Amino acid sequence: MKHPSEKNKKTATKSNGDDYSEEGTFPDGSPAHSLHPNHIQNGSDSSVNNSPRGRKNRPEHTRRAYIAAADNRRTQSERRPSDKHGRLLGRRPMNPHVRSTRETANQVGHQVKAFKREHLGARSKFDFQACVKCLEDEILPGWGMSPTDDGRSQTGTEKTTGSDVLRDYEQFLKLTLRKETDESIMGSDEYIDLVSLAKRARDFEILVPDCRRRLQSCLDQHARPHLVSLKQMLAVSFPPSSQPLLHTDNEGKDAVLRTVDEYDTVSSEKAATVDQKLEDLSNTYKSYKQTLRPFAEFVRSGDSNTAQMKSCCTGLLEVCRGLENWAEQDDEYPETLMQEMDEKKGEKENLQQELKQAKLDKLEKKEKINRLRKKEAKAAQLYVQYRTSRDRLRDRLGELREKDIMLQERLHTRREELNILKESKAENPEMTPRSQALSESMNKLEASIEKLESERKITRNHIKRVESEVKQANDRAYENKVEMVTFRHQREETEKESKRQEAEIISLRERMARLDELCEKLILVRELKISPEAYRKGLRDMRRHEASKADGTQYLNDACLQAAPALGKKWRKLYFYLPFDPPRTVDKRQRDIILLDTLASRKDLTENEVATKSLEKWRTFHRHGGVLDLTLALRAIHKNGLARKIEDCYAAQLEK
């Protein structure tokens, strides 16, 4: 049989969650000191016998045992890893508030369970009517006392003032020690039960207020202020002015820390539940307290008192269980944050794939736009060429038609002249010189008419050919115009799609930046939960942030962050117009600008970053500055729009 202390020691070691053996032993159960390099199992020690043994001179069985133990043994750094390596190995130090909450809940739970096991268990069943009868008929008459002042049962709210009245269990327990009672009565079960009932009431009246006080103190000092998501500290490390802007479509998807919000809700619900249970416990205990006097009535209503005791114990255990679950959930909260961070990283990887595909699509659309632009230019060039050719052919066709009309008129004239000559010749059929002259004229006219008809035929054929060419040129010009307009519309649609693709790429990048920021927030919350030093530093930063808001420093900081990106290269000019208290000479200001330029060249800072640092330096030297000082300096360098914007944002502070 093991000694209880050894058993408790072993149980405590196991409960700590350590898989190593007890200190001073190896995992195989052998003592650690027996495997020292200079220790020999036959009982001789080389250091005592003045015969040191090296590694090669050790006995074979000792060397084998030492090597086996060294292979199975864990180093001190592995048994107790540091915070950094412990977190990498999956181990981390427990939050002291979680530990305190668990310890308080466990201790109170053990006390309540011990009370229930001793006084409200299956072996603690009493015959209350028999106990009342024994008290009123045998014990109190022997003591010369009465159960009530008038012999009747009093309610719990009425007070008995008689000196011979048994008031409560405390007086009963005192009288059992001072008054003499018959041995036959003292040996009866009813007398023993009465003493047990009095002791139970005494222990219960000590148990409930003490446990309730400890639980309330644990709730107020550890659970409520410290077992929270620490969401309020994120505003200190991530001010709103530094957060990237997102499209409204992605705000609900990416801009929420689901674990933090859920834990805020759960913490509020748990705090409200624990408060309600403690209030119910107080009400039940008050109701129980009203039944303590007189003692006879307390014993007579033993069933209801027992039920109230059980209800109070159940309430205490529920509060303990709620606090323990809360502490356990808070202890698992960093792992939940890591899970959400892994989800965010998975979402970011998906967004990276979408971004890659969007970039490829954008590149394809850009190439398509270039092809369509070339086709459109080619079609426009052909359209201009065919339109010019068509216009030239139309002009030529007009000339030919005018020529045809002219030839037709000349033919008509020649034919009329020929008809006149024929009529004249018909009137003078004789062969006279005049008729010969008419014949010659008629021959000339006929030859001229034949020539004009031949020329007109050629002209009409030319007109037909030119009309065909005009039709072809017109058709080709129309086709090229249609192609040009089609390519233009396709190019414009593709450009619109490319712009939408560009907006999608910007949105994806912003969502990725937002996910990175959310991961940083999750890491910060996790660090605050697992590191007491980081938590204390976060509390100091939050208090400093609240103090800076109270005296207006935070408003000036936000205003400087808002003004710095809009200054650009004009921060040097602004630095000379900013007020300093105590005053700062021009030479010192020039030296400050030189130092800032040197810092910017060494660290490759942008103008916006250098402007931010210049305003930080100004706030360092000008400790009592306000937003008004900044706006006046901005107006002095003709940045009226920026000054007006800052005044609109911090109007309340400027009024103060």
CATH number (domain holding residue 592): 1.10.533.10
What is the 3 state secondary structure string of 9-21?
HHHHHHHCCCCCC
Q: Which two tokens stand for residue 249?
A: 């479509």
- Structural domain contains residue 245: no
Residue from 643, 639, 611, 641 nearest 629 by CA: 643
Residue from 626, 506, 603, 464 nearest 556 by CA: 626
Task: Tell which of 80, 111, 126 closes a domain.
Answer: 80
Together in a domain, 465 and 507: yes
Is residue 166 packed enough to be buried (19+ CB in 10 Å), middle (13-18) or exposed (0-12)?
buried
Task: Tell which of 472, 498, 529 closes a domain.
Answer: 529
Residue 276 has pLDDT above 90, yes or no: yes
Beta carbons within 10 angstroms of residue 380's beta carbon: 17
Q: For position 214, what pLDDT does the model report?
A: 94
Together in a domain, 569 and 617: yes
- Structural domain contains residue 543: no
Task: Tell which of 322, 343, 364 closes a domain.
Answer: 343
Together in a domain, 65 and 141: no
Together in a domain, 517 and 557: no
Together in a domain, 296 and 361: no
β-bridge mates for residue 31, sequence order: 25
Together in a domain, 505 and 398: yes
Is residue 126 a contact partner of residue 197, using CB atoms and an 8 Å limit? yes
Is residue 437 packed enough to be buried (19+ CB in 10 Å), middle (13-18) or exposed (0-12)?
exposed
Together in a domain, 407 and 480: yes
Q: Distance (Å, rounded) from C-alpha 643 to C-alpha 630?
A: 8
- Structural domain contains residue 367: yes
Q: Distance (Å, rounded) from C-alpha 582 to C-alpha 622?
A: 7
Q: Distance (Å, rounded) from C-alpha 54 to C-alpha 40?
A: 12
Count of structural domains, the chain: 4
What is the tens place of the pLDDT at every residue in 525-580?
888 888 878 877 887 777 776 666 655 567 788 888 889 888 888 999 999 999 98
Q: Which CATH number characterizes residue 502's domain? A: 1.10.287
Q: Is 43 left (phi over 0), alpha (psi -120 to 50) or beta?
A: left
Q: Write the CB contacts of 526 (distance below 8 Å, at least 6 apart in sequence).
A: 334, 337, 338, 341
Q: Distance (Å, rounded) from C-alpha 468 to C-alpha 207?
A: 117
Query: Could you tell me which residue, 414 or 435, shows the higher pLDDT?
Result: 414
Please report where in the chains the tokens 């970039």 appear, as a residue.
Answer: 359
Residue 635, domain extent: 552-655
Read off the amino acid at residue 205.
E
Together in a domain, 585 and 445: no
Beta carbons within 10 angstroms of residue 161's beta carbon: 7
Q: How confident is the model at residue 435 (pLDDT cuts 50, 70, 90)?
A: confident
Q: Distance (Å, rounded) from C-alpha 525 to C-alpha 336?
A: 11
Together in a domain, 422 and 393: yes
Together in a domain, 370 and 511: yes
What is the tens place of the pLDDT at every residue in 301-345?
888 889 999 999 999 999 999 999 988 888 888 888 899 899 999
- Structural domain contains residue 98: no
Together in a domain, 321 and 392: no
3-class state of residue 42 by DSSP: coil
Together in a domain, 137 and 283: yes
Please report where in the chains the tokens 């660090």 appear, as a residue.
Answer: 527
- Structural domain contains residue 444: yes
- Structural domain contains residue 129: yes
Q: For position 493, what pLDDT does the model report?
A: 95
3-class state of residue 360 by DSSP: helix
Residue 25 has pLDDT above 50, yes or no: no
